[in-house]
Chains A and B, each alone.
Chain A
Amino acid sequence: DTGVSQNPRHKITKRGQNVTFRCDPISEHNRLYWYRQTLGQGPEFLTYFQNEAQLEKSRLLSDRFSAERPKGSFSTLEIQRTEQGDSAMYLCASREDSRRAQYFGPGTRLLVL
């Protein structure tokens, strides 16, 4: 299967702990996106990479959030000092240069206790 993959699928952590999520995009998709989705809402944009360059960050992305995409392949999203309000589904999407449609992974569901 060549879809977007995300790990872990579920994460439970205590408030104040750091967590890191991984996204592996569809191979040869240069563009990678992170979104956050809470219950009853549509996904909200967090950040965007073209190859290894982080080109856009949302105002939602506080200083506790950091994302990387070393070598333009997989990406990681780290949340430091987690808060209960960080509980959400974190979605990764990728797309190829010639098309605008983004393809999403299964998401990582985070619960902060």
Chain B
Amino acid sequence: EDQVTQSPEALRLQEGESSSLNCSYTVSGLRGLFWYRQDPGKGPEFLFTLYSAGEEKEKERLKATLTKKESFLHITAPKPEDSATYLCASLNSNSGYALNFGKGTSLLVTP
């Protein structure tokens, strides 16, 4: 069964303390790996799509990378406004049209 697993479940960082969030996937026929940010009470906000191993995408303090089994979301010198839940999702050849989400990593950045 296709699965997306995110770790850690929660992460607390001090402002400026860089770290990485992990997304492990076991899928057959990956058609895309997606990262979203979700603030409390709001819908997910699209960040990145990665399609093949070795691909990297960057946006401000965030950088997403993809291997054959994992994706990482690197956060460089985070600020308190980066606090949110970060969701990873796969689009597989078996899932038709639906995104298959992990449970997310809740990130808290303290001043």
Q: Which residues of B contact A106 (CB under 8 A)?
A: 42-43
What's the nearest-Cβ distance from chain A to residue B61, in Å? 20
What's the nearest-Cβ distance from chain A to residue B39, in Å? 10
Closest residue of A by beta carbon distance from B9 = A40
Q: Is B103 an interface residue (CB 8 A)?
A: yes
Q: Which residues of A contact B104 (CB under 8 A)?
A: 42
Q: Count B-side interface residues using an 8 Å CB cutoff.
A: 25
Q: Count A-side interface residues using an 8 Å CB cutoff.
A: 27
- Report yes or no: B44 in contact with A43, Cβ–Cβ below 8 A: yes
CA A103 – CA B44 in complex, angstroms? Answer: 8
Q: Which residues of B contact A98 (CB under 8 A)?
A: none
CA A102 – CA B42 in complex, angstroms? Answer: 15
Closest residue of A by beta carbon distance from B47 = A101
Q: A48-B96, A100-B49 are in contact. Are A91 and B43 (CB under 8 A)?
A: yes
Q: Is A28 an interface residue (CB 8 A)?
A: no
Q: Which residues of A contact B102 (CB under 8 A)?
A: 42
Listed residue (A44, A91, A100) with the most chain B CB atoms within 10 angstroms of its CB: A100
Q: Which residues of B contact A41 (CB under 8 A)?
A: 103
Q: Is A65 an interface residue (CB 8 A)?
A: no
- Report yes or no: A45 in contact with B99, Cβ–Cβ below 8 A: yes
Given contacts A55-B96, A103-B46, A104-B44, 19 further A-B contacts (CB under 8 A): A42-B4, A42-B103, A42-B104, A43-B44, A43-B101, A45-B100, A48-B97, A48-B98, A55-B97, A58-B98, A99-B49, A100-B31, A100-B32, A100-B49, A100-B91, A102-B34, A104-B36, A104-B46, A107-B42
